[in-house]
A and B are shown apart, each in its own frame.
Chain A
């Protein structure tokens, strides 16, 4: 996995200014192999998921033109989603759940939704004895594409 860690405490204090810059780290994310994950996420938005999702996120219609799924590359849009996602994590007290190395993220478009996935960044140095290695969850936050309204969250067990 390739990722950059943003210390959780740093994020609680506020986003660094460099994240606002056009040439900073990829605002759309750093998680490895996002295309493979995209397929999994799209698969999640199927009828069984809709049941447990309490209809907050509806089922995608794969053949409809507006139902396309993609890994986001629009840096401006990704910045907005990232900011909104971090706010939700802070408000829910979930930032403290990330290990000291911080988190990695990736932003997706799933039909009418933006989805941003947050998870632990890779351990710093696993060659050190007793490195902190968590089988920790991944937070999937859904936002309306038009309004950026927060719709809900799925926690993928780790």
Chain B
């Protein structure tokens, strides 16, 4: 903690050992009274901690900025972030709160005294990290990050050197890359966690690369014990451009593990005009070459959903995503599969 009272003048009141010059520290055991610092406030001068001060320890710790950890909040291309300062525990004037990395901005220039308003950044132009810092009279402090997507807490030090990481505490809420134009009305498709999964598997499909880098990626959407959404990739995900072979053992394993599978998802890394290469999904006819780009869900995909429905009950969903749309189906009773209207992608993400 360093919310000690501002002692007047232009210099913060601090325990001597943190800001006194080296020469003063050398003399501390012999002439305590002489080491009054530049303000003469020696409230901590007789504390055991100070009396144990040795030469090696006498280097002002606030200058050893490299000792402070620095952590960032991960953010992906297309995502935005809402940053809200939750609390401050500092007193120095002119402490600036800034962010670097994925975004560069100053959120406040006197954060200890004027709490910045919540700010929204984004969308990010590329994958990266948001690194926050507080800089002021003591230098630049480090940061600690806790939490999981989409909510993170960042605890910041101000460089004073006590490594308390409570001088500024802020939260970062990640807004998903808008896969769709507005909400779809579908509770699963509108779920931020699922949109992030879809975004990730699309990125992992490398749709703009030639075969064999271009691959179908997919897996199972599961409900975690705490109710959150999880993703378990298919064992054979990412191995071929036009198929994911044999997902049966994955469904069986989930069933045997009593893992609730609420959906199966995979990509079709296709789009009109996306491919100029020949590859696994193409075949030359006598008059030319037809490229794979037929939209929608293949009959085999429907068969797979029917199988998943037989394992996990009707209502299991299927999402198949290509560059333009997310196609969806729902498992009904008796191996029936209902094809739901496709949802166009916004095109703003990967």
Contacts and interface: CB of A to CB of B under 8 A. Distances in A.
B283 A1 contact: no
Contacts of B248: 123, 126, 130-133
Given A1-B306, A133-B248, A156 B337 contact: no
Nearest to A106: B299
Nearest to B302: A1
B281 A155 contact: yes
A157 to B, nearest CB: 4
A54 B283 contact: no
B283 A133 contact: no
B48 interface: no
A contact residues, range: 35 or more
B contact residues, range: 35 or more
A120 B300 contact: yes
Given A133-B303, A137-B281, A43 B243 contact: no
Contact of A154 (B275, B290, B306): B290
A40 B325 CA distance: 13
A95 B244 CA distance: 17
B291 interface: yes
Interface stretch (B80-88, B165-173, B174-182, B265-273): B265-273
Contacts of A136: 242-243, 245, 298, 300
Contacts of A33: 339
Nearest to B307: A126
Interface in B231-272: 241-249, 251-252, 256, 266, 268-270, 272
A134 B292 contact: no
A46 to B, nearest CB: 9
A158 interface: yes
Most chain B CB atoms below 10 A, which of A3, A31, A48: A48
B290 A57 contact: yes
Interface in A5-52: 31-33, 36-37, 40-41, 43-44, 48-49, 51-52
A134 B243 contact: yes
A69 interface: no
Contact of B285 (A104, A121, A135, A153): A153
A129 B169 CA distance: 51
Interface string A134-154: 111110101000000111111
Given A52-B272, A158-B242, 12 more contacts: A1-B303, A1-B306, A31-B299, A40-B296, A49-B294, A56-B289, A135-B218, A138-B298, A154-B292, A157-B269, A158-B243, A158-B301
Interface of A: 1, 3, 31-33, 36-37, 40-41, 43-44, 48-49, 51-57, 92, 104, 117, 119-123, 126-127, 129-138, 140, 142, 149-158
